[in-house]
Amino acid sequence: MKFFIDTADLAEIRDLAATGLVDGVTTNPSLVAKTGRQFLDVVREICAVVPGPVSAEVTATDTATMLAEGRKLAKIAKNVTVKVPLTPDGLKACKVLSSEGTMVNVTLCFSSAQAILAAKAGASFISPFVGRLDDIGQSGMELIREIVEIYRNYPHFKTEVLVASIRSPMHVTEAARMGAHVGTLPPAVLRQMFAHPLTEKGLATFLADWKKTGQSILADGEKVAAE
């Protein structure tokens, strides 16, 4: 399963990218607005940090303007993925942009029927929002199960299931068990995945036992190179 980071915060992206666990980044107008910076500058800098797909969303709602915005975004870097909404105009733009060789992420998916349309339009990624469905009493993970099952029935569909609106590590593990291709995680959720009380307890025990030996792996004065 690939991990994308759902943020436009460059400091967070750089820190998490250093773990080697980050395969891409997703942004949206709300996340970019939080930075207080120019949208195109933020996208350009993210693309320089993360070599994988970087989703940058159009803000238009009509096909012609979506195409103009999408083509401009695609020129920023080869790893830009143009994000369009799952609307008739958005899918028209998806079809054209994908035929031009641009990666397209179709966002705001809330049904398996919508996911079928996105795949037929040539989307590189479909973004079902699991957390937002959970918020209204529907099962977001059941939607992921349905989409993965449908896509497997049609090998010619090349669209990857990108699980969005992830709220917890449980969402990630459930999506992985179902075979979803990508999870886009808020930085806090990825950090939560590292944590387990038994890991912390075990490490504390090992370090305490090591201290009793009075030994050191590095000799006195031996320098540690900055990474």
Catalytic residues: 83
Query: Are 147 and 128 within 8 A, CB to CB?
Result: yes
Report how far residue 127's alpha carbon sits from residue 129's, in angstroms, rounded to the nearest whole number: 6
DSSP category for residue 220: T
Report how far residue 124's alpha carbon sits from residue 18's, in angstroms, rounded to the nearest whole number: 26
Task: Concatenate the DSSP letters of all residues of 56-122 into one string.
Answer: EE----SHHHHHHHHHHHHTT-TTEEEEEESSHHHHHHHHHHHHTT-EEEEEEE-SHHHHHHHHHTT
